[in-house]
Structure 1
């Protein structure tokens, strides 16, 4: 009953005193609330804030969607131009970071640009004097996230070119995010068709629920670490072949099949052996991946043998799975046609996952900003299954 006319205080839920049983991999477990977007796997739909991500990719620029993720609304014409100019001005590297890149590239000659990005981002954060998000206000956090996100394409393309024995290409502020990325990668200004194809791919992969890399970024953010540290952890998660490393592997599947007459035999052998077919299946979607559908359409605009072969492989995989694994829904995921589109746009395969990172860094940044507003550290529990303690510690053996 209220005391002295005051409102009753709602009861506080009891805090569990022991571990709570959850699915392996935290599948389906809600760990927080977000305003950034969601994935509705049974509908084949995902969104950034209140907008369909696919519609955004079809109708807006990468910079406009970046603004949406960081500011919560789509920009008007003036805001769009100002934001594009601001982010373009942040692409340049300091002399200290630029001078260190050749050594980073040499050290990562076997592991590639994404591995080097972890080191380069740490160096960038240190050179900028980035402070823990716990100690700064929201405006400073956003500025740090903008600056760090903006240099990722510059770092990745420089590391790639240095690894190929080429000089890095300085960024241009008069080019869009996508066009500048392709320009720094190849040294030539890209045509409008390829620029727009890559831009649509980038927009479609900015964010996608609480995937492994996004969750990693948020866990690190919950400790109050600086933006660069949070992004380094996210890059590490993305580098795993079960997360961001599939676009080139999906193309490797097409290469392994080789010709149309080998499709059925190759697929049947893999399905019956229980092997994974890279580019197919997703832990969330139980219907067609909307990103794959959009990218298939982009690929078909280019046309050619590779596209027709990919479409036929997709058709036969689904047919054979329906025959051998009835009731199992398995469709192409974003990586399958992403690899085809990037190949058609002239990107080297070792840059497929780094290109993914150039998009996802914006989503990570938005998640870092949102998580930083909640000072509760993410600290789950584990169930111990080892030898029952306590076991008496044996004395040390005599020498």
Structure 2
């Protein structure tokens, strides 16, 4: 090896100091989308994600992630039919669901889905992405994404002592999800509201669960492995576990006359107010703005309370913590919208997963094109080595 090549190899192994949590560190290139936090804007490929949620259906945006373009009428029909046909579960998975639901009863459907999703991948014969073609990888992600709503709703219903509801091919992704959850065909307004929420949360930069999926995909593991890891990351309360907690805040406040003292007490104590703040946005979260508009179309006391709480939090912060901006994030009004559409609170985060599985899948497909494994370093801070191994007493 020449001196120059040796120096390059040595330099490539030298540790590079980065911020804790990799905040702001660019780790790869992506064509899937971006979050521009200072502008309060995010996009899927070249399109505004909010505009897509306002004007397109879930299947259209799913097609955009998988195939890189929005479908025309013929492509939409074919894609919708293909994914709808994948909603039904293999017999081996269906047979295992009662046991999974019973075992995960205290933890909920999202915990059960980690097991069920892994079993689904095995039953469908998913193979390492490193070993299969791009077409096979894509087929595996479609099969997994289409089955996730079926898994989640079946596990929830079994946990409630109810029989699972079989999926319907004639309903859209969002309407079918609500149908399998409740057993009744949903009102169009509710189905559309949930569809808009699902579209708005398909992808959102290199968040913890997306990065987890890409790390696993970088090892060449199969699609199910990457998705199971992503679900595990999403389950944490600092990531996807916040919509129901944000709604708990509104429950704790209860009435308008309690807003002022409740918020002042939390702000002065330095407590976190669930549903407010975001690690990327320094402006209003565009997803929250869209979901507030959806909530206001339904109206009612809960919406009135939520809007007033948002206004008072911002005003009180401006008074007590000048210069510290804190706006609602997606979880705040997501919880309100899902409550208005009749979703049980234990299904809030699972519903988030029913959308994000499409984004995780797209990231897995993109990562699988790069054979470089993601392998960062850690700084050792333990006792000085080597130390003499003590003799056995």
TM over 0.5: yes
Q: CA deviation at 1:48?
A: 0.2
> Match for residue 57 of structure 1?
53
> Match for residue 203 of structure 1?
199
> Match for residue 345 of structure 1?
341
Q: CA deviation at 1:338?
A: 0.2
Equivalent residue in structure 1 for 2:19, among 20, 23, 29 = 23
1:325-359 CA deviation, whole Å, 9 max, x = no partner?
11112100000000000000000000000000000
Looking at structure 2, the residues matched to 131 and 189 of structure 1 have their Cα atoms a distance apart, in angstroms, of: 36
Looking at structure 2, the residues matched to 15 and 376 of structure 1 have their Cα atoms a distance apart, in angstroms, of: 18
- Worse overlay, 284-293 or 261-270: 261-270
Q: Which structure 2 residues correspond to residues 226-241 of structure 1 after superposition, within 5 A?
A: 226-241=222-237
Matched residue SS, 1:16: helix
> Match for residue 218 of structure 2?
222
Looking at structure 1, the residues matched to 133 and 319 of structure 2 have their Cα atoms a distance apart, in angstroms, of: 57
Matched residue SS, 1:218: helix
The runs of 4+ residues in structure 1 deviating greater than 6 Å are 11-14
Looking at structure 2, the residues matched to 395 and 36 of structure 1 have their Cα atoms a distance apart, in angstroms, of: 57
> Match for residue 364 of structure 1?
360
Q: Which structure 2 residues correspond to residues 48-87 of structure 1 after superposition, within 5 A?
A: 48-87=44-83
Looking at structure 1, the residues matched to 170 and 140 of structure 2 have their Cα atoms a distance apart, in angstroms, of: 22
Equivalent residue in structure 1 for 2:183, among 177, 184, 187 = 187
> Match for residue 164 of structure 1?
160
Looking at structure 1, the residues matched to 47 and 334 of structure 2 have their Cα atoms a distance apart, in angstroms, of: 22
Q: Which structure 2 residues correspond to residues 224-303 of structure 1 after superposition, within 5 A?
A: 224-303=220-299
Matched residue SS, 2:13: coil
- Worse overlay, 206-215 or 256-265: 256-265
Q: CA deviation at 1:18?
A: 2.3
Gap runs ≥5 in structure 1: 1-10
1:242-275 CA deviation, whole Å, 9 max, x = no partner?
0000000000000011111111111111111111
Structure 2 residue 133 is the aligned partner of structure 1 residue 137: yes
> Match for residue 147 of structure 1?
143
Q: CA deviation at 1:16?
A: 3.0
Gap runs ≥5 in structure 2: 1-6
1:137-193 CA deviation, whole Å, 9 max, x = no partner?
100000000001100000000000000000000000000000000000000000110
Structure 2 residue 371 is the aligned partner of structure 1 residue 375: yes
Structure 2 residue 312 is the aligned partner of structure 1 residue 316: yes
Looking at structure 2, the residues matched to 98 and 254 of structure 1 have their Cα atoms a distance apart, in angstroms, of: 38
Report how many residues are paired: 387
Q: CA deviation at 1:388?
A: 1.7
Structure 2 residue 373 is the aligned partner of structure 1 residue 385: no
Looking at structure 2, the residues matched to 15 and 208 of structure 1 have their Cα atoms a distance apart, in angstroms, of: 33
Matched residue SS, 2:382: coil
> Match for residue 174 of structure 1?
170
Looking at structure 2, the residues matched to 12 and 147 of structure 1 have their Cα atoms a distance apart, in angstroms, of: 43
CA RMSD of aligned residues (A): 1.1
Looking at structure 1, the residues matched to 76 and 324 of structure 2 have their Cα atoms a distance apart, in angstroms, of: 44
